[in-house]
Structure 1
Amino acid sequence: MTASQSKNELSEEFKNLKYILTSSMRTKLLLALYNNSKNLDELRNELKKPSATILHGLKELENINLVKKVQKYYKLTSNGYLLTTNLIKLIDNWYSINKSKEFWDSHYLKDIPDEVLKNIYLLKDAQYINSTTSDLSNAFTNYINQMTNAKKLKIILPIYSENHFKQMIKLLNGDKLESLELIVSEPILYSIKRNDFFNNALIKHKKVRINTIKMNIKVFLTCSEDFMALSLFFKDGHYDDSQILIAKDKNALRWANNLFEYYC
């Protein structure tokens, strides 16, 4: 397939998506039929619309092979199911971005790969936490509290921070943390090794595994078996320790692990 063909197909798909999104009835019908086939009475009761409006929308969707009628029931075709699956993902992505729009709007995102960024809907239940003038350490405190009971930690560490190092060492010397896997740039690792205390207590600790990369990643990610935390850099390149996303649900953990494995 040539680049021109790919672009033409993408343009055609956009037309189809635009056709769906420009009608709330067409969209609502696809969502209503996503999990189960339904008859006209069920659709009328669910959507609270007259039969004529619903039938008109169903006919439009039948004409483009997204819905079909089997006896008295309407159901999604295979094309309809695939399109609605991606429609739901689009809606969830939009919701996730808007829910934490201050976080996403103000930060540099280019070090989050496209294949991970497009699944941002997995973070829709994440909690946005920011520090205030009355509590400058609010984000950091919440982050540390989440780490306390972790058994296994995986961290993309893009900064040299003694506060973070000391917390990691404290956990390593406790009874709960079983392993710590770090991804750091070569300059960060070099800086840590120059400090004898951090080198011996952190880098050389038997529970620690280090992965080094050449690039300076502008993503600070932490994930364990039961939480993930994400903080980023401002667009001017400075690390932002005042805002953080924290989540505990399985979807967010999957998102975080995918990002970690990408760089690992």
Structure 2
Amino acid sequence: MDTLEIFARHHDTVQKIFRSRLLLQILLSLGKGNKTLADLRSVTGSTSQSILPRIRFLEERHYIESRNDGYALTPQGKVLSSQIQDYLRSTILFDKNPKFWSSHYLEAIPEPFLRDIGDLADSEIVESSDADIFSVIQYFFEMMKDASWIHIISSFMSHPHADALGTKIQAGVPVEMVVTAKIAEELRNDPFRKKIEALLEHRHFRIYVAPAPLLIGLTVTDSFLSFGMCLRGSLKYDISSDLFSTDRKALAWGERLFSYYKDISEEFSLDPP
């Protein structure tokens, strides 16, 4: 059955949930753990008389159940609560910076990670301007300063970036990079070759070559994430704006994305066969 047909048949139930602040608050609150009626009063700022009919509604549909320590989500309630959280976080992410998302090529993000894009909700967009053309790169350097490890997906390379990474590698910080075939070829030639040759002697530095062009850029460390994309239309990488975050969910999203690209890439060689 088509999704629109399903909605037409069940829109009353869907609207009851999404139109009710209390129902959504109860489901989201229980997504964090069991709650007593007193807990739910505190979370929602509502009275027991207002909350109890919503609890009955959710119990009738087997989304929540009563236990000795309060109310808890059922397995199907956990699914619903999780999907509401995803919807909420994605909406917030796109609504905060609609111009950024509409002007960049969002389709470059692999589908599984696009579905989890709400994990980036707690983030900010940093843009360079005529008054401060170095905002983005300054954020990048600040991010790397205290990093215990660094994972990068790069669709471009510059001497400042290379020098900053070189300093961290020489200091013993593990660094792994996924680059395009074009960048790999640039690294095999001067002026980058001598730098890369020396850095590859460090066992904690590895480069991987992606099998296809990269239309995104990512740097994720143990405490910071930077994410960029190509501009819609030109598909040129936008070096003037990046998304930055220190949120745990955003870091986990970035690390999963890096692992995805690393797994489909081949290890770099200075002199390939």
TM-score between both structures, scaled by the size of structure 2:
0.78
Inter-partner Cα distance in structure 2 for 1:147 and 1:14: 50
Inter-partner Cα distance in structure 1 for 2:148 and 2:64: 48
Q: 2:192 aligns with which of 190, 198, 204?
A: 198
Which range moves more in the overlay, 45-54 or 128-137? 45-54
Map of 1:258 onto structure 2: 256
Structure 2 letter corresponding to 1:226: S
User: For residues 217 and 29 of structure 1, do their structure 2 counterparts lie closer, same or farther at Cα, with a shift above 3 Å needed?
Assistant: same
Inter-partner Cα distance in structure 2 for 1:129 and 1:72: 45
TM-score between both structures, scaled by the size of structure 1:
0.80
Inter-partner Cα distance in structure 1 for 2:54 and 2:146: 52
Deviation readout 1:89-115 (Å, 9 max, x if unpaired): 322232233334443232112222122
User: For residues 226 and 38 of structure 1, do their structure 2 counterparts lie closer, same or farther at Cα, with a shift above 3 Å needed?
Assistant: closer
Q: 2:78 aligns with which of 70, 77, 81?
A: 81
Map of 1:239 onto structure 2: 237
Deviation readout 1:12-40 (Å, 9 max, x if unpaired): 7985655421333322332344433434x
Query: Contact between 1:130 and 1:138, CA under 8 Å: does it hold in 2?
Result: yes
Structure 1 letter corresponding to 2:208: N
**C-alpha deviation, 1:84, in angstroms:** 1.5
Inter-partner Cα distance in structure 1 for 2:58 and 2:151: 46
Say whether residues 1:61 and 2:55 are aligned partners: no
Which range moves more in the overlay, 105-114 or 64-73? 64-73
**C-alpha deviation, 1:183, in angstroms:** 0.8
Query: Contact between 1:186 and 1:214, CA under 8 Å: does it hold in 2?
Result: yes
Deviation readout 1:39-82 (Å, 9 max, x if unpaired): 4x765565455655444433332332223456996543332233
- Unaligned 5+ segments in structure 1 are none
| Equivalences, count | 255
Map of 2:173 onto structure 1: 178
Structural RMSD (CA):
3.2
- Unaligned 5+ segments in structure 2 are 263-273
Deviation readout 1:106-151 (Å, 9 max, x if unpaired): 2112222122222223323323211122011111111122223334
Structure 1 letter corresponding to 2:27: L
Inter-partner Cα distance in structure 1 for 2:30 and 2:167: 53
Q: 2:213 aligns with which of 196, 212, 216?
A: 216
